[in-house]
Structure 1
Amino acid sequence: MVRTNFDARKAVFVKRLIEEGSQHRVDFDIYDFLLAFNKSLNDYYTTSSCSGRIALAKAPRLSYSKGSGLFKFIVKWHRPVTYSEVINVISGISEGDAWLLVRAPIMHFVARDLNGALKILRIARDAGFKHSGIYSVTHDGVVVEVQGEDRFEVPIMINGSLIVPKDELRRIVDIANETLMFGKFRLAHLIRLIEVGLLGKTDLGNMPRTYFQESYREFNIKNVSLMDIKDSI
């Protein structure tokens, strides 16, 4: 079989995925799927992907997020977060404005041709990822960006001072966790549809397991660590 630019680029990205996975730089709740997807399908591969995250960031305005030096992530969590974790981080902020953010899952699929890209796009929209589309079309493949809509952003500090009472901050953290989970469960549904539609699974069956074996409220109360969660899977 003649090796094309598509095949060469796929080899590069699959190698990068494996290397970054070994360094724990790939979101652990989607790594197995990404690996299976890339190894099983000749006409597709994935590039940058994120299963969703909660973050604290410093910025005078979120519209400045693309500006040089005007937006800075302080910390990112790709899992539910506890109130105490948020308090511990913001207690170290003495100036500027800080935002609590939830970003939806985002995945980038590269298809060998337009028909393959449209197939991925249909599956994504069936899974509820309505803000998805064809990102670029080149001789090397067609890039589909699958973008979730579960997001949340609220200012919690101005000029280094907390602007919400701590009891209300607890509720804000609760909502952030809930929003993150909605996005991740939607992503789990997308993964299962892809497994059926492209990877040969015979039925949807049970939803894929993630580390959400407890509600976010139970997680918040127990204040378990990320390592505890990983060990429980």
Structure 2
Amino acid sequence: MAAFGRWKEQRLSRSDCSRKGALDERAAGAVRLLNRAAPFCTTSSCAGRIVLAEGRAGLPGAVPKQRCRWLLVAHEPCGQRDVMAALQTATGDVVFKFEPFVLHVMCRELQDAQLLHSVAIESGFKNSGITIGKGGKIMMAVRSAQCLEVPLSHMGKLMVSEEYIEFLVQVANRKMEENAQRIDRFYKHLEAALEAAGSESNSPSTDAGQARAVYVHRRKRRTARVQDVLPSPEHHNNELEPGDDPEGSLDIFAGITLCH
């Protein structure tokens, strides 16, 4: 597809406009692996981070990113002292967050996105999904439901104990370690899938072709299970695993959203 080739060339020629200005080291391997493959082009990524975000005092609910000040951003496990030191400068409302690995990939064809989706799900990123834009762009998002978001202070006043902050940091650090393990699995599974896809042109009966067949079969099986459960919403909620998001988990439901 000529259009995809142009989109990819334009995307990869742009400068990095992220806050950090460079790839996160832990995500770099998967990003480069995908961009070397003809059917894929990454558009954004984050390896996962622990964040203290401060918004204007009195803002209800979560702190909007466009109206916040970053007091702390850590892409590796951090300590309670790091958080307490960052809080000393706070004058507004502060939220403590853990945000897991996220990767957005533009795909040449739907079957390419399906293959990548299968790799993501098998690697533990169960909130991943595919969207098809109005102009025909096919996007695949690799995501998980490991998020953590807790308000710590209001108008500069700390609302929780230091002991609780230490507990939160321990929880976030465990999530960071689990996140790193999933990224490693994703890279290994992706490398194997791309190698199999590379041999498909030489043999129609290859692992890549079988992988897509398994993907379709697995999705039909999941759809059948959901249909069996949907008549009883109460029973469905009882069957959810910890951390599952029944509204955001695209691997269970349609998996393809048409953007308007």
Question: Is residue 2:32 matched to residue 1:31?
Answer: no
Question: Is residue 2:86 matched to residue 1:86?
Answer: no
Stretches of structure 2 lacking an aligned partner (at least 5 in a row): 199-260
Task: Quote the RMSD (CA, aligned, Å).
Answer: 2.5
CA contact (8 A) 1:150 1:180 kept: no
Q: Residue 107 of structure 2 corresponds to which residue in structure 1?
A: 111
| Closer/same/farther in 2, CA of residues 63 and 168 from structure 1, 3 Å limit | closer
User: Which of 170, 177, 180 does residue 174 from structure 1 map onto?
Assistant: 170
* Matched position secondary structure for 1:92: coil
Scaled by the length of structure 2, the TM-score of the pair is 0.66
* Matched position secondary structure for 2:26: coil
User: Equivalents in 2 of 1:56, 1:64: separation in Å?
Assistant: 10
Q: Residue 12 of structure 2 corresponds to which residue in structure 1?
A: 14
CA contact (8 A) 1:149 1:183 kept: no
- How many residues of Structure 1 are paired with residues of Structure 2 in the alignment? 193
User: Equivalents in 1 of 2:17, 2:86: separation in Å?
Assistant: 27
Q: Residue 183 of structure 2 corresponds to which residue in structure 1?
A: 187
User: Equivalents in 2 of 1:145, 1:161: separation in Å?
Assistant: 37
Q: Residue 65 of structure 1 corresponds to which residue in structure 2?
A: 64
Q: Residue 222 of structure 1 corresponds to which residue in structure 2?
A: none
* Matched position secondary structure for 2:118: helix
| Closer/same/farther in 2, CA of residues 58 and 24 from structure 1, 3 Å limit | closer
User: Which of 135, 139, 144 does residue 140 from structure 2 map onto?
Assistant: 144
1:25 is aligned with what amino acid? Answer: A
Q: Residue 126 of structure 2 corresponds to which residue in structure 1?
A: 130
Stretches of structure 1 lacking an aligned partner (at least 5 in a row): 202-233
User: Equivalents in 2 of 1:148, 1:155: separation in Å?
Assistant: 21
Deviation string for 1:125-177 (max 9, x for gaps)?
A: 11121111112345553101111111111111122111222233212111111
Which stretch of structure 1 is more off in the superposition, 53-62 or 154-163?
Answer: 53-62
| Closer/same/farther in 2, CA of residues 140 and 4 from structure 1, 3 Å limit | farther
CA contact (8 A) 2:72 2:83 kept: no
Q: Residue 160 of structure 1 corresponds to which residue in structure 2?
A: 156
2:12 is aligned with what amino acid? Answer: V
* Matched position secondary structure for 1:56: strand
Identity, % of aligned positions: 23
Q: Residue 44 of structure 2 corresponds to which residue in structure 1?
A: 48
1:86 is aligned with what amino acid? Answer: V
Q: Per-residue deviation at 1:63?
A: 4.0
Q: Per-residue deviation at 1:62?
A: 4.2
Which stretch of structure 1 is more off in the superposition, 3-12 or 185-194?
Answer: 3-12
CA contact (8 A) 2:33 2:191 kept: no
User: Equivalents in 1 of 2:184, 2:128: separation in Å?
Assistant: 16
Deviation string for 1:165-200 (max 9, x for gaps)?
A: 223321211111111221221122111110111145
User: Equivalents in 2 of 1:74, 1:4: separation in Å?
Assistant: 44
Please say which structure displays the higher CA radius of gyration: 2
CA contact (8 A) 2:48 2:100 kept: yes
Q: Per-residue deviation at 1:29?
A: 1.3
User: Equivalents in 2 of 1:147, 1:84: separation in Å?
Assistant: 29
